[in-house]
Amino acid sequence: MNDLAKTERSRVKRMHERGRYDFDTVAQILDSGFVCHVGYAIEGRPYVTPTSYWREGERVYWHGSSASRMLRAAQGETDVCLTVTLVDGLVLARSAFHHSINYRSVMLFGKAHKVEDPAHKRQALESFVERVAPGRWAALRPATDSELKATAVMYMLIDEGSAKLRRGNPVDDDEDYSWPVWAGVVPIRTVAGAPTDDGRVVPGAAGRPAADNFAHLGLEPE
């Protein structure tokens, strides 16, 4: 895979040493999450929509209702900016100025493309379900044509953008290390709790997941 294009809009300017442009780092961050924010403009006004996403090779996909404003606007030659942020810890320093957050983030720029081919759309939605809960698609009631028509699937190429990361302890001014206040990192993790039935599961139904089935999404068992 080629590194991402480092353009004027994608180049990390603030804390540039935290920037990464290699495809592997970007893909690893994308694969560790499942919620993104898609930014776009409609009639000159900015909008940002949170949605779920998944990656296949050099493409990142997202989906929603065919009637949604975002999915009707963000297609064809419409420019979009897609971001993902994963928070790993609160960084508490000896001064307010040096407090920070440990994080991994990706910002991608490009054109949104709508998946028009029904077979491609069905395959993409299967990939989405399998991304969230591996092995579940085969156990589900098959998707109907009307459901597929009501669902829009979009994708963009992963070819322009950057990753930005912060790790480690607070970095204080040398003269502040003797200041008598605790400093360090408060780790943050997202957990998956024990699954709860909806009260209408038929006896012998298959597919009940365990809390540890979602580690691939960055969710640790509670």
Is residue 18 within 8 A of residue 40, CB to CB? The reply is: no
> What is the reported pTM?
0.90
Q: Which residues 6+ apart lie within 8 Å of 122 measured at CB?
A: 143, 148
Instruction: Say which amino acid occupies 37.
Output: H
**pLDDT for res 130:** 94
**pLDDT for res 75:** 58
**pLDDT for res 156:** 94
Q: CA-to-CA distance for 163 and 85, rounded, in angstroms?
A: 10
**CB neighbour burial string for 37-70, b if at least 16 within 10 angstroms, e if fewer:** ebbbeeeeeeeebebebbbeeeebbbbbeeeeeb
CATH number of 16-194+201-221: 2.30.110.10
**pLDDT for res 17:** 78
Burial of 36: CB neighbours in 10 Å, binned 0-12, 13-18, 19+: buried
C-alpha distances in Å from residue 6, one per residue of 11, 147, 219: 5, 39, 31
Task: Name the nearest CA neighbour of 115 among 48, 79, 66.
Answer: 66
**pLDDT for res 4:** 86
H or E segment to which residue 50 belongs: strand 45-56
Query: Running along the chain, 222 residues long, what does each successive block of 10 average in pLDDT?
Result: 83 79 94 94 89 95 79 71 97 97 96 91 94 92 92 93 95 97 96 91 89 88 86
**pLDDT for res 72:** 66
Six-digit token pair at 138?
């085969």
Domain spans in the chain, listed from the N-terminal domain onward: 16-194+201-221
Six-digit token pair at 101?
């957050």
The SS3 assignment for 55 reads strand
Residues found in the chain:
222
Is residue 160 within 8 A of residue 110, CB to CB? The reply is: yes
**pLDDT for res 43:** 82
